[in-house]
Each structure stands twice: as structure tokens, then as C-alpha cells.
Structure 1
């Protein structure tokens, strides 16, 4: 069984661990998630904290830990069995998307050698970046120029301007053919699909760290453009397609489109799953609320029964007392008047009659206390 060695820079591993969960990425390299964590720890590559992907799932804000700088960058070697690498890339969704892209004859999978009928965005971007001079640029990369805000974000050396524009023109045309909306904002170019899911696209020239010494003897490290281009796609994390010794970015258009469409499809699928789960939750919540309401209604019904029974018991005592007083001989006029009053109160208190009494309308018959009132209602 052959072993394949995958070479990564710290930056590349960093971008990968922040673009997808550790468990998912580890499977792609036929590693355990703990094994991948150890590699990240060894090379000082920060990983997302616990709960990071759950926050992203529910569109909550997260903070990305920056990659620490090291004096000497090391290449990271990951040994993977070829058979396992093939198995781990067997993604039904990605395979379906790949078929869709490959069979779409309208797509332009080859980057032209020169700009031909460029998109309006590219025309304006070309006018903007070709006026720039390296000495006037505020780019963090030595020897490069960059577009202004409100244009697609491009930071490259002058010799790579033409390549960058042709690559971006090709991608924009393909994005439109795939039905994506193009949104140009201050921070750069966004592509939008399906349920308003979006990704940012930008082009960078890769760099090497070079030690320099100033005229005053101060030592520092500068990032110097090395001529290799990369197309970066940002969603929650960032993934990139860069020039390699075997292929240029221009040769990876199909790969880029498959990756982006797969990501959009996955976002769409996850959103639908969340909607289904939310719908199930709401249905279960309604069932539970209905069940609790039935219980509450049943309890209230019993409490009413309980209170009526106790009121009846108290009523019978009052009734007996009233009957006793009424049976007395030689009743005074005052007692006769009181007995008449008491009779009306018995009718008001009797749970079987429940006659209203204007003066006692605000009294709770079970507790024989005034009902609480809100606002500025006072009793005098």
C-alpha cells in the first residue's frame, strides 16, 4: 500500500483548520481529530475554540485567532495512505456538483490569453489598478500594487496585473452563468447564491519573508511578492487556489467552480436542515404547550370544584345559622331587616345560585377578599 506525503505551509494548514471542523478535516487526511490537533500544536497553528462551529451554524459572531509569526517557517508533512485519501474524497455532493460543472457546456473553463469583451467590473478595475505605482501603494507586500476600496480586492506585482484581471474576468463570467449575483462593496467582490449565502473573492500574490537591515542597522522582516498568484475565497474561513510547480491558477478554474458550488450547495443544505429542525421544534413546542394547557385547564377545573365544595360547606353553615335566627319568636324589626339582608347575601354566596351583588362585585367569593386591581383604581 503506497503512502502519499502531503506538504503544507503553516499558513495553508491554518486556513484549512479555520475553514471546516477538525473532525471533517482530519478525515480528509486519514487522521484522528486528536492527531491533527497535535500537528497544529507542534507547528504553533491556532485552532478554533470549542463552540466555534456551533456559533457559525447559527450565524453568531466569532473571533479568528491570528497565526503567530515564526522566525523560521517549516513545511508540514502529512503522510496519507493513497487508498484512504481516495475514500475520504468520495463526497456524493461534491461528485454531483463536479458532474454538473463538467457537463455545463456554457461555462468557460479556460482563461483567455488576453482580455476579450471583459465584464464591466473588470473594465473599471483595470482602469483603477493600472494607474497605480509600486512606490505609491500602501500594500503590506513589498513590490505590489492594490486596488482601491469599492473594487475587487487585488494585491499583486505589476507584472501579474494582466493575469489577475483575466482570471477574475473568467470567474465573474462563470459566476453569472451559474446564476450567482455579483455584489461589489467597499471591501471587495462578493458572489451571492440561493438563500443570499455569499462568499468574498479576492486575488493575492504570494510572498516570501525576507530579512532586511535598514541604513541605521535596524533588522526587520519584509514580505516580498514572489510572483505566484492565488485566488482566495472567504466564507467563514478562507480557502485558496494558488500557482504550484505543476499548475497555474488559470488551470484550476474547473476546480475553483466545483469548490465554490459545493460550498454553496452545502450551505443551502444546512440551512434547509436547520429550517426543518426549527419547524420540528416549533411543532413539538406547540404540542407541549397544548399538553400543558390541558393540564392547566384540568387543574383549574378541579380547583373550581374544590372551591365550590368548600364554599358550599361554609354556605350550609351560614344557611343553618340564618334558619335558626329566622325560627326565633318575637323578632325585632332590626333583626327582621338583618335577616332579609343576610338572605340576599346567602344567595350571592351560594355556589349553586351565584347571584351578583353590586357592592360585592369586586370580591373573590372563595377568599372573601377584594380582587387586586391594576392602575389607579382605589377603594374608599
Structure 2
């Protein structure tokens, strides 16, 4: 969209040369939006009756422009495209709703009689025929509309859902199933839908006692999303007139849900990466501890070897000094040295008996 950049003084000159109602037709901003913009930038606007007095050449009072302003001095306005009713200062829902309403090919009128029924409309009629008013009847082989109504109101519900489905398809989406729920499928995101008849609690008729639920004939269309449920019901206007708003809301909810799914996916990736990093650190630490413990064990083993060798040498020296180094003692000394060599981690001499498991 084409934009124009103004200074505070230029906007002041604009609102005092052209009525705001006309400026709202030139720029993609509402009348209230323009007033808020002027208030934000401390720009006075003409009071009521100013333009009528000016038209009839009556004296008017023009509020003087104030040069002193502590905020940012540049203002950007978007030029309204021809035929567009979208105001960029409005909510995303309002903007999306107007976008759908301004589409000349969008099927927004619910007809009195269904012409060229959607395949889901046909399947829903077939489902009702097979169910024969059995509320417990199920058939998951084909998709049908999630309609819960008295028989007398089913045709109106079917006309609404047929138009709704055609609008959904026109917007590039589809109706699908997620588990056992009928949903609108938008770019891989499921938004559950439901159409039901409102009911009120009334006194039960004899011979029954207490209260019972009685259908009111009012329609309620509901969408169920991850964090936000939204419903529309008959009131001053019928839900048939709200098709654009309903589909706009579904699309926006699908976009939000997709963003949340992506954020969740990225969070899980980071979580798994952090978990892997911690596991690798733990593995390295465990390996380091194991190596250290092995070092300690070998050191202790080497120390024991030294003590054994010292003892063997002391025994040998004692035998020499006392002239008692017999063949039997020499054999023991040789045996003991072999065991020391087996225990010594620097030698690790094999021993056919001690190495046997």
C-alpha cells in the first residue's frame, strides 16, 4: 500500500483544510483513528459546526498550532486503495472481515433453497437418513456437518452450513476430521466447529416433575481452539449475516494456533538440544570421574605393590642375614615376586590362577 509521510504541521493544515470525514475516505484510517492520531500528536481539530459556518461564510475560530511537542514529529498515513473499506487502525478481525465482505465472488448469502449442494451437505442428509433419529448412531467413514437440532430446524441449519462450507472452500480451506471432530483445516491447522440449537430450562409437563430443556430455535455456531473458544448466536441479527466475520475469526485463530505450534516446536527443539547438552556434560563428567577413580585405584594398587616388594626384600634380606635362605624360602620369594608383578599396574604379568574367573 502507498503511504505518505507528514509533519505535525502538515497534518494540522490537512485537518483544518478538509473535514475528517473526507480524510477518512482518502486514507486507510477511521474517523476515530484520525482523531486519536491528532490527540497523540497534540494537533487541535475543528469543533462541531466549524465546516457548516465556513460554508455559509460565518465567522469561525481556528485553534492556533502549537510548535512545542516532545514526541516524534513524523506521521505516516496509508492512502486508501480504490474501493477498499479497510481501515488499518481497526482490529485484525475487522480488517479480515471487510476483506471477505469486499470479495465480489465470496458466497456470503445463505439462500432460501440450496442450489448445487456441497458434497458434505449431501453426506449429511445421507447420514440423517441412515440414523433415522437415533441420536447414538455413528458413521466415521464420511464427514458430515456437526449439526445438533430439532428436525424442524435442520433445513435452515443445512442451508447455513452449505454456504459456510462453500465460503471456506472459496477461501482456499477445507472441512476435515481431527479424531472424531469436524473441523476447518487451514494450512495444516484444525479448528473444531459446531452448530447447535439453544435451549432453555422450563417446567416439565405432567405427568413429569422438575424441569426439562426445551429448544428455542436460536442458532449457536461455535469454534473451539487451543486457548480460545468463540461462539455466535441468533440475536438482533441472525448468524447467517455473520458468515464473513465467522470465517475471518476462524482464519485468524488458525494463524495464531500455527504460530503457537511453531513456537512450541522451536521450544521443544531448544529443550531437546539443552537436554542433549546436559547429557553430554554429564556423560563427560561421568567418564572423567570413572577415569579418575581408575587412576586412584591404580595408584593404590601400585602403592600396595611397592609395599609387597619391600616386604619380600625384607624377608629375603633377613634370611640372608640369618643364613636361613633355604630352597623353600627362595621358591616363596620367587612366587611372591610373580604375584607382585601380577598386581603391579606397570607390569600386569599374567597369572593362570589369579586370572581365572
TM-score norm. by structure 2 comes to 0.61
The 3 A distance-change label for structure 1 pair 219 and 313 is closer
Rounded Cα–Cα distance in structure 1 between residues aligned with 2:346 and 2:179: 77
Please tell me whether the aligned partners of residues 186 and 251 of structure 2 are also in contact (alpha carbons under 8 angstroms): no
Rg larger for: 2
Residue 155 of structure 1 corresponds to which residue in structure 2? Answer: 148
The answer to whether residue 279 in structure 2 is matched with residue 289 in structure 1 is yes
Q: Which of 265, 268, 282 is residue 275 of structure 1 equivalent to?
A: 265
Matched residue of 2:117: which SS? coil
How many residues end up aligned between the 2 structures?
Answer: 260
**Gaps (5+ residues) in structure 1?**
1-88, 140-146, 363-378
Residue 254 of structure 1 corresponds to which residue in structure 2? Answer: 244
The 3 A distance-change label for structure 1 pair 283 and 99 is farther
Rounded Cα–Cα distance in structure 2 between residues aligned with 1:270 and 1:338: 79
The answer to whether residue 345 in structure 2 is matched with residue 346 in structure 1 is no
TM-score norm. by structure 1 comes to 0.58
Residue 232 of structure 2 corresponds to which residue in structure 1? Answer: 241
The answer to whether residue 202 in structure 2 is matched with residue 210 in structure 1 is yes
Matched residue of 1:117: which SS? coil
Where relative contact order (Cα < 8 A, 6+ residues apart) is larger, the structure is 1
Residue 18 of structure 2 corresponds to which residue in structure 1? Answer: none
CA positional deviation for 1:103: 7.0
User: Pairwise CA RMSD of aligned residues?
Assistant: 3.5
Rounded Cα–Cα distance in structure 1 between residues aligned with 2:220 and 2:351: 87
Q: Which of 257, 264, 282 is residue 254 of structure 2 equivalent to?
A: 264
Residue 33 of structure 1 corresponds to which residue in structure 2? Answer: none
Matched residue of 2:120: which SS? helix
Matched residue of 2:307: which SS? helix
The 3 A distance-change label for structure 1 pair 117 and 303 is same
Rounded Cα–Cα distance in structure 1 between residues aligned with 2:149 and 2:292: 79
1:1-380 equivalent positions in 2, closer than 5 A:
94=93, 101=100, 107-129=106-128, 137=133, 149-150=138-139, 151-183=144-176, 189-195=182-188, 197-214=189-206, 216=207, 218-235=208-225, 238-245=229-236, 247-327=237-317, 328-329=319-320, 330-361=324-355
Rounded Cα–Cα distance in structure 1 between residues aligned with 2:264 and 2:255: 14
CA positional deviation for 1:314: 1.7
The 3 A distance-change label for structure 1 pair 155 and 313 is closer
The 3 A distance-change label for structure 1 pair 339 and 242 is same
Matched residue of 2:331: which SS? helix
**Gaps (5+ residues) in structure 2?**
1-88
